[in-house]
């Protein structure tokens, strides 16, 4: 249960980052002006992810130089988790598990959507590999569907996913 919760928080962080970037780029293709965390924090759909990133102590890492690719779960993705999972992961005693879940949603480097579709897997910052598959139906990362891509930040890119992914699943 704890591993599932950590993964869920990691996904939320990713989604928050993606929506923040998307809201920044709606007006055109300007150079990004916000980092991953700023993008996520600026979008209400990522409030759970942002809370998880803060609880895990990962804010400083995710505002760092990067680049990072974040597969960000939305609040709706976190809501799919079993009842109480998010609350349990946010407890200080579960910080290590939360960090594992969140970092499972992050890949070192800036991997744009055009590149993601050529991959069959990627090693996460957490250390495990996520599976990636592309078809006419869309792109999947583990069991999550990518619902928005290429939200560019000053330190990477966010791809929004509809499900929290968990290490070891």
pTM of the model: 0.80
pLDDT at residue number 24: 42
- Residue 16 predicted with pLDDT over 90: no
* 15 band by pLDDT with thresholds 50, 70 and 90: very low
107-149 pLDDT tens trace: 999 999 999 888 999 999 999 999 999 988 889 999 999 999 9
The DSSP bridge partners found for residue 141 are 132, 144
18-77 pLDDT tens trace: 444 444 444 445 677 999 999 999 999 999 999 999 999 999 889 889 899 999 999 999
Domain extent listing, the chain: 2-161
CATH number, domain 2-161, options 3.30.420.10, 3.30.70.20, 3.30.750.24, 2.30.180.10: 2.30.180.10
């Amino acid at each position: 249960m704890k591993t599932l919760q950590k993964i869920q928080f990691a996904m939320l962080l990713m989604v928050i980052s993606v929506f923040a970037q998307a809201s920044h780029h709606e007006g055109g293709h300007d150079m990004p002006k916000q980092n991953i965390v700023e993008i996520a924090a600026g979008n209400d759909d990522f409030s759970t992810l942002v809370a998880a990133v803060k609880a895990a102590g990962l804010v400083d890492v995710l505002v760092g130089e990067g680049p990072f690719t974040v597969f960000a779960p939305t609040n709706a993705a976190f809501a799919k988790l079993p009842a109480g999972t998010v609350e349990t992961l946010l407890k200080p005693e579960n910080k290590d598990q939360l960090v594992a879940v969140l970092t499972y949603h992050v890949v070192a480097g800036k991997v744009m959507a055009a590149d993601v579709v050529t991959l069959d897997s990627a090693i996460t910052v957490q250390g495990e590999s996520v599976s990636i598959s592309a078809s006419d139906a869309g792109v999947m990362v583990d069991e999550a569907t990518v619902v928005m891509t290429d939200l560019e930040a000053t330190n990477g890119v966010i791809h929004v996913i509809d499900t929290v992914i968990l290490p070891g699943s």
